[in-house]
Amino acid sequence: MKNRLFIILFLVMITTVGSCFAEADPEIENYTRYTDYEPQKADPIGLIPGENHNVLVAWFSRVGNTVFDPDVDAVTRATLQYDSQGELLGNAQMIAGWIAEETGADVFPIQTAYTYPSDYNQTVAVGEGQDIDFVSLKLAAYLDDVSGYDTVWLVAPIWHYTVCTPLRIFLSETDLSGKTVYVVTTHCGSRFADTVERIREMQPGAKVIKAVAVSGSDPNSYEEEVRKFVQNAME
């Protein structure tokens, strides 16, 4: 009887351990190989419909791709803002909001399958590592059909002096041929870096245009410039 019970318990233990290994996603290593933290599976937002379905604003930001610690105020503010209601916003997210207000566009938050670290320096390490290794990340959500858009605004930070990996993955999965693509960057001194050139290489069938490079140290001061550029572009 004891032997039989031992065998049953052993089989349960093996099944449980096996299940844990089966549930481990190797995708996590695309983040943790660069720094020590626990990525969380993203909660996909997906496409947010606007009033003008001919225009798309796709943006990537730390907010929406990070589970921030309670002491978020201590996080480097070069990438974060608070709105008038006290809601935490990423710079690219805030700028995408301005563009959406001016255009009535559909909005698509680019989200990776797993979250980045809440610590800014750790995020830098992960972002640079993913770029150097040319990692092929999975996204939390994809756009099924972009054929109806004639204009696309891309808003994302410069990471490692180039296109951040999440935006690169989005562009590798999305054909923007025949569309006018405006590029807006947030940066800490590198402005557009080589982003526009790389996007043109990835999207040879699109008309890719430099829009506005927004300094991450004072993004709010660029609101008028961004809105005016959008207004002129949409005339």
What count of other Cβ atoms lies within 10 Å of the Cβ of residue 131? 17
pLDDT value for 18:
35
Torsion of CA 121, 126, 127, 133, to 10 degrees: 140
Cβ atoms of 55 and 151 within 8 Å: the answer is yes
CATH class belonging to 2-233: alpha beta
| Model pLDDT for residues 15-45, shown as the tens digit of each residue | 333 333 335 789 999 999 999 999 999 999 9
pLDDT value for 55:
98
Average pLDDT over residues 82-96: 79
Is residue 3 predicted with pLDDT exceeding 50?
A: no
pLDDT band at 73 (very low <50, low <70, confident <90, very high): low
Is residue 2 predicted with pLDDT exceeding 50?
A: no
Phi, psi of 145, deg, nearest 5: -150, 120
Give the Cα separation of 52 and 104 in Å (integer).
5
Cβ atoms of 195 and 158 within 8 Å: the answer is yes
| Model pLDDT for residues 199-231, shown as the tens digit of each residue | 999 999 999 999 999 988 888 899 999 999 999
| Model pLDDT for residues 150-199, shown as the tens digit of each residue | 999 999 999 999 999 999 999 999 999 999 999 999 998 889 999 999 99
Provide the whole-model pTM: 0.85
Give the Cα separation of 202 and 207 in Å (integer).
12
pLDDT value for 65:
92
pLDDT value for 81:
66
pLDDT value for 83:
62
Give the Cα separation of 181 and 164 in Å (integer).
17
Cα 67-38-44 angle, rounded to 5 deg: 45
| Model pLDDT for residues 132-147, shown as the tens digit of each residue | 999 999 999 999 899 9
Of 134, 118, 117, residue with least CA distance to 126: 117
Strands (DSSP E) contained in 67-168 are: 80-82, 88-90, 105-109, 151-159, 162-163
pLDDT value for 216:
82
Give the Cα separation of 178 and 206 in Å (integer).
5
Question: How many helices (DSSP H) and strands (DSSP E) are in the chain?
Answer: 7, 8
pLDDT value for 181:
98
pLDDT band at 70 (very low <50, low <70, confident <90, very high): low
pLDDT value for 75:
47
